[in-house]
Amino acid sequence: MSNVGQIESWNSHYENVGMMLIPDIRVVRWLNQIPAGSRRQRQLLVLGCGNGRHAIQAAKMGYRVVAVDYSPSAITALRTWAIIEGVSDLIEAYEVDLTKECALSDLRTTFDVGRSDLMLCWGVLEYFDDDTVLQVFEEAAYMCWENANCLIMARGPKDFCFKHKERSDGFMEIHSRSAGDWTFLLSRQHDLGGDVVVDSRLETFCNMTVGGVEGEKREQMLFLEATNLRRV
């Protein structure tokens, strides 16, 4: 579960490390599946939005976006960036901790429950244990229409994070799960639905310093794409 120390670490990360500016091509392709002319009628929910590279990209493509993160610094960065890019009218950004048991009641007072058509969660869930992952989806499902679609990316066990700790400073614990582990975990979550497709991407970068160790950096991304999101 999240705690004050973790949130402070993420605040420091977004304030001092610098902003990630380029959206992942997998996300862009996923968003491009919706015809441009109908995107203003679609709303994207971004869980763990960070400084907002994917939220900003989605807004530029014409989507309405609701972005949440438990780091105040991340939300401030996103709101500022949205103004600079001229898309602030399309983005609602909120500081919300979906790992807390009281988050659902908080969300119900903040959002029109059940109005998102798409949900994106990118590089977030590997930081949480199994029970917290399920809690996040139980809360998030109430923010989506029935039969919404979602795209999830989480680090795989071959990723450099699991060998050299998290990025370069090791400030948070991360949980290694294979594609099979993720499929089993998500199958326990009735709100996610049954139509889940998993694939992966493995990239190797040489001669980089990771966690204070110079050498090979191997990045493994596991993609879980689910359709027909359900809640009961």
Residue 53 in tokens: 């590279």
pLDDT value at position 200? 80
How many residues would you count in the chain? 232
Instruction: Assess if residue 169 is contained within a domain.
Output: no
Instruction: Assess if residue 189 is contained within a domain.
Output: yes
Instruction: Assess if residue 170 is contained within a domain.
Output: no
pLDDT value at position 170? 46
Instruction: Assess if residue 117 is contained within a domain.
Output: yes
Q: Which residue carries 């977030």 as its tokens?
A: 124
Residue 163, pLDDT > 80, answer no
Instruction: Assess if residue 113 is contained within a domain.
Output: yes
> What's the predicted TM-score (pTM) here?
0.82
Which residue type does 201 have?
R
Q: Which of 6, 89, 84 is nearest to 48 (CA)?
A: 6
Q: What is the CATH number of the domain that holds 186?
A: 3.40.50.150
Instruction: Assess if residue 201 is contained within a domain.
Output: no
pLDDT value at position 1? 35
Residue 116's pLDDT band (boundaries 50, 70, 90)? Answer: confident
Instruction: Assess if residue 73 is contained within a domain.
Output: yes
Beta bridge partners of 92: 66
Domain around 127 = 4-31+39-154+176-196+222-229
Per-residue model confidence as pLDDT tens digits over 29-67: 999 999 999 999 899 999 999 889 999 999 999 999 999
Residue 171, pLDDT > 80, answer no
Instruction: Assess if residue 146 is contained within a domain.
Output: yes
Rg from Cα positions in the chain: 17
pLDDT value at position 89? 96
Residue 46 in tokens: 């971004």
* Total domains in the fold of the chain: 1
Per-residue model confidence as pLDDT tens digits over 7-23: 666 666 666 666 667 89
Residue-averaged pLDDT of the chain:
79
Q: Which of 85-89, 155-159, 200-204, 218-222 has the highest mean pLDDT?
A: 85-89
